[in-house]
Amino acid sequence: MDAPTPTQSVLEGATGRVLRSLARVLMRYGVSVQAFIDLAKRAYIGAAQCDFTLPNRKMTGSRLALVTGLTRKDVQRLTSANVPSDERALARVNRAVRVIAGWRRDATFHGDAGVPAHLPLDGATPSFSDLVRRYSGDIPVRAVLDELQRNGSVTVHGSEVRLADRGLPSTDESGKLALLGSDVSDLVDTVAYNLQADPSRRRFQRKVMYDNLSREAVTEFRRISAERSQQVLEEFDRWLARHDRDVTGSTAGSGRVRAGVGMYFFEEEITTTGAGGSK
C-alpha cells in the first residue's frame, strides 16, 4: 500500500480530531461502533448521490459501490433501510427560535421600555397568537406555546404569556443533539467550500484563541464573549429578518438560499508542568 501523501496525512489527522469529539458524544448515548460504521457508510452513500453523479447518468447501486468503496450488498442494505432523521427536532428548535427572535426584535411586541412585553394569549395585536402567526407560519398557536413552555422559553400567568429571558430560547436534549448535526455540518461545509473556492469568494471562517490563559481570565472572557456575541447575533438577526421572505411576505429576488453566521465559545484544560508553563 502506498504511503499517504502529506495532504492525506493532514486530512486523516483532522478527521481523527473531529471523530474523537463525536465519539465522546456517541459513547455517552450508547451508540456502538458498529452503529457508527453504518452511519458512516450511509453518509458516504448520501454524499455520492448528491455530489458524485455523472451528467445524464443514473446513479446505480453498482456505481455507488464503485465511488464509495462499499460492497453492493452494503449499498443495497443501507439504501433500502429507514434513514434516521433529526428533522422534527430541528423543526421544533427553528420554530422556537423564529418566534422568540421576532418577540425580541419586533417593536410591535415591545412595551414602553422597548423590551419584549408580556402578551395576552389571544386578542388583537399585540398578542401571543398574533406573534406566532407572524413568525411561525401555519403552526397552531397551542403547539408553539406548548413547545416554548416545555423548553422553558416562556411562562404563562393566567391568560398572559411572558418571555422567560431575552436570550435565545432554551433547547432540550433532543434539540441540542439535532443542533450537533446542523451546526457541525454547516461548519464542515464551509471549510470544504473554502478548500476549493476562489480566494475572492471564500466564506468567512475565523477564530481567535490563546492557549496559556489563567482560569480567572477564561471566566471573564466567557462572560465578555457571550455578551458581545449575543449583541452581534441580534444585529445580524435584525438584518436577515428584513430580507427573509417568510417574515416580509415579499417575493422579490431570485432563488431560495439559506445563509447565516454561527458563534461558539470553547475552552480546554491543558495539563501544566507549573504555573505559567504548558506541557
> Are 122 and 194 found together in one domain?
yes
Judged by average pLDDT, the poorest of 18-32, 50-64, 193-207, 252-266 is 50-64
> Are 153 and 135 found together in one domain?
yes
pTM of the model: 0.76
C-beta atoms surrounding 167 within 10 Å: 13
**What range defines the domain where residue 185 resides?**
85-205
Q: Who has greater pLDDT, 163 or 214? A: 214
Domain boundary residue among 20, 54, 80?
80
How many CA atoms lie within 13 Å of 69's alpha carbon, on the beta-carbon side? 4
Q: According to the model, what pLDDT value does residue 239 have?
A: 92
Task: Check whether 245 has a pLDDT greater than 80.
Answer: yes
Tell me, yes or no, whether 104 lies in a domain. Answer: yes
Domain boundary residue among 80, 114, 131?
80
What does pLDDT average to over the chain? 87
Q: According to the model, what pLDDT value does residue 278 have?
A: 42
Domain boundary residue among 59, 80, 101?
80
Question: What does the buried/exposed string (b/e) look like for 3-15 if buried means 16 or more CB atoms within 10 Å of the residue's CB?
Answer: eeeeeeeeeeeee
Give 226-235 pLDDT, tens digit per residue: 999 989 998 9
Q: According to the model, what pLDDT value does residue 271 have?
A: 80
